[in-house]
């Protein structure tokens, strides 16, 4: 027998060999227990509820007096979150009519012009040019670049530009917004 073979056979009977062997066994057992605990759920739910979130993109045109329709076709309420991207124009840049401030002219975001409220717009408490959400009963329920609201079963809302409800005034509006909806059932 060579010296290498003798030494390897004798190693496991020495104190360092025994420690190495014990460490290997402990690591194997602890590793298996760790794997079992990692795979086993720590707190399984007794009655899990899954929230379904759907998305939809609406094109909302500045010159549409009625707006873009969205209907909840379900028999339960939905939570709707919206975020608008883009700019549109309610008042042309070159408009010279009295009472219209310069900052209200030209392209603006879905926030509208917060310094120009008008009692004659569709939603008088919201800024001119803002994206507004109106219920089927013409109640103004949300506005701006982003927001949220609850939509009841079978209810309809309309996304539109807040302007004076006059066909001529809507006809001179330009642009559109992409409105991203996040729709959840909870």
Who contacts 43 (Cβ-Cβ below 8 Å, separation ≥6)?
A: none
Cα gap 112→163, rounded to integer Å:
10
**Candidate from 77-91, 112-126, 166-180 with smallest mean pLDDT:** 112-126
Question: pLDDT digit string (tens) for 46-61?
Answer: 555 556 789 999 999 9
- Hey, what are 102's tokens? 């310069």
- CB-based contact 60:131 (threshold 8 Å): yes
Predicted pLDDT of residue 168? 87
In sequence order, the 6+-apart residues with CB closer than 8 A to the CB of 174 are 62, 63, 88, 89, 92, 107
pLDDT, residue 18, reads: 73
CATH topology of domain 53-184: Jelly Rolls (2.60.120)
What are the structural domain ranges in the chain? 3-39, 53-184
Largest interatomic CA distance in the chain: 112
- The answer to whether 81 touches 72, Cβ cutoff 8 Å, is no
Q: Look at residues 179, 184, 182, 186 and name the one whose alpha carbon lies nearest to residue 59.
A: 179
The whole-model pTM stands at 0.71
CB neighbours of residue 135 within 10 Å: 16
Encoded tokens for 42 = 């720590």
């Amino acid at each position: 027998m060579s010296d290498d073979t003798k030494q390897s056979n004798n190693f496991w009977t020495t104190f360092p060999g025994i420690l190495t062997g014990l460490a290997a066994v402990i690591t194997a057992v602890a590793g298996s227990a760790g794997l079992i605990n990692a795979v086993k759920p720590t707190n399984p739910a007794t009655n899990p509820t899954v929230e379904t979130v759907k998305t939809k993109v609406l094109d909302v045109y500045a010159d549409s007096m009625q707006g873009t329709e969205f209907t909840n076709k379900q028999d339960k309420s939905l939570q709707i979150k919206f975020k608008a991207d883009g700019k549109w124009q309610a008042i042309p840049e070159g408009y010279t009519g009295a009472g219209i401030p310069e900052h209200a002219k030209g392209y603006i975001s879905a926030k509208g012009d917060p310094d120009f409220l008008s009692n004659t717009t569709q939603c008088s408490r919201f800024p001119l040019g803002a994206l507004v959400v109106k219920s089927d009963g013409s109640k103004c329920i949300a506005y701006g670049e982003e927001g949220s609201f609850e939509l009841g079963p079978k209810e309809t809302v309309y996304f539109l530009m807040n302007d004076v409800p006059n066909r001529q005034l809507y006809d001179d509006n330009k642009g559109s917004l992409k409105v991203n909806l996040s729709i959840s059932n909870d």
